[in-house]
Structure 1
Amino acid sequence: MDVVQLLGANVRHHRKLKGMSQERLALDAGMERSYVSDLERGTRNPSVRALGRLADALGIEPKLLLESPVGGLSI
């Protein structure tokens, strides 16, 4: 799996685990909702700074957004 797609799948996975909408995540991360949507679909290549803001908004370590899933994530 491409790293950008992996990041997107992990963002979606952790966002849903927290019960957050894309809009809430975007607000908490200081981003546009459409940008979060693009990230989750794997069509944006975010900066390291953006990755950090997403992780902060999700309350997780940034490395979790780049780890391969254990047991598989649905993309």
Structure 2
Amino acid sequence: MDDLLKICGRQVSFHRRRHGMTQAELADRASLSVDMIAKLEVGTTAPSLRTIGALAAVLHVDPAELLTTQVVGLASGRPVLSELVSRIQGLSDDQVLFVKGVVEAALRRVP
């Protein structure tokens, strides 16, 4: 159980920082206390399913992603693709469209 708490804490911390949020901002957006976020991130308290759902919604990830070190979905097992997917998930729709255009342009140049 301790390993799962630490994994969850690392994932919450990673996704929070990926979005450029402080613990206080995440706590506010998820209707949780800053103390709860701090304890979750160091793995000293177990989140309820409701808490996992609230955090996942704010962090724009599948709730299962907070409980695993793997990116959930198609990128699983491909670390570079997993990293790209994780980073792209935090972008706005306009930014995703821009990245899509860059990728399409790059792929046209690949033999």
TM score, norm. by length of structure 1: 0.87
Distance across 1 between alignment mates of 2:58 and 2:23: 11
In the alignment of these two chains, the number of paired residues is 71
Q: Distance in 1 between matches of 2:69 and 2:31?
A: 26
Among all aligned residue pairs of Structure 1 and Structure 2, give the percentage whose two residues are the same amino acid.
35
Q: Which amino acid aligns with 1:48?
A: L
RMSD: 1.6
Partner of 1:16 in structure 2?
17
Stretch of structure 1 that moved more, 21-30 or 61-70: 61-70
Q: List structure 1 segments (4+ residues) > 6 angstroms apart after TM superposition.
A: none
Mapping for residues 1-40 of structure 1, pairs under 5 Å: 2-40=3-41
Task: Structure 1: give runs of 5+ residues left out of the alignment.
Answer: none
Q: Residue type matched to 2:63 in 1? A: P
CA distance in 2, matches of 1:59, 1:68: 16
The structure having more radius of gyration, on CA atoms, is: 2
